[in-house]
Amino acid sequence: MSQIQISPERLSRDYYRFQRYNSKQRMLAYWHQLKLIEECRPATLLEVGVGSGIVTAYLRHQGVSVTTLDINPALRPDHVGSILRPPPALAERRFDMVLCSRVLHHLPFDEFPQALSMLSRLTGKHCLLTLPVNDFRLYCLLRLTSTSPYTLSLPLPLALKRAWQRRRGRTSGSGLWQIDASPATSRRRVIAEIGRYFDCLRHYPVPEDRSHMVYLLRPRPAAVAAERPVGEDVRCV
């Protein structure tokens, strides 16, 4: 069984073509991102990972000063580089908010703490982080005319997911890791690593697609972050 391996720095702009990249599920994830960003009311925002550019375009239209960072020059970001080693012109800045959506799972998990450390240095007030979850569910969308939809989901055994993936001849993940894909990337371990650099204000799976985990974070003081031991249990506040 082969696994999809995507090298973000080599993708062409065609990969992000609307009907190819922006599925209905992804558009719902954008909605949740924009809702939280609107609640935080940032004047300046750094988006790490340009993607299709929909979120940046909307925020700029709303008057937010958005700066973009991406490892792929073909996407024409404001700054080309990795979150692990951002360009010097960017590294010393702080933004009201930093958005990093489904980017860090393209890095090896042992580089996750380094990426979090840099995100905390760039964040003035809030960081919005989303990560993929190893999940398998049956969904049901309920809606009455002129009302908002309500989503129900039934978790299914991951063994069924593995059997379905074997039947397709590949895995469904596009990155190097997912939350709960192994003990090393368990939810507890991920939130513990996050807690070394951030206070977690809120976290939840996107109800319409629970393979997206959303974290709204506030940077911890540098001295406190440095002293917090790896693996210490951290709760969202």
Residue ranges in the chain assigned as alpha helix (H): 18-21, 24-40, 54-61, 88-91, 112-122, 158-168, 187-194, 222-227
Torsion over CA: 165, 168, 169, 170 (sign): negative
Residue indicated by tokens 């239209």: 61
pLDDT at position 176: 92
Q: What is the pLDDT of residues 35-68, one digit of tens each?
A: 999 999 999 999 999 888 899 999 999 999 999 9
pLDDT at position 120: 97
pLDDT at position 26: 74
Ramachandran bin of 117, using left for φ above 0, alpha for ψ from -120 to 50, beta for the remaining angles: alpha
User: Which domains does the chain carry?
Assistant: 9-138+174-227 (3.40.50.150)
Which residues of the chain are modeled with pLDDT < 70? 1-23, 170-173, 223-237
pLDDT at position 221: 85
Q: What is the pLDDT of residues 179-196, one digit of tens each?
A: 999 999 999 999 999 999
Strand-pair partners of 139: 153
Say if strands 44-48 and 65-70 run parallel, antiparallel, or are unpaired: parallel
pLDDT at position 62: 95
pLDDT at position 201: 97
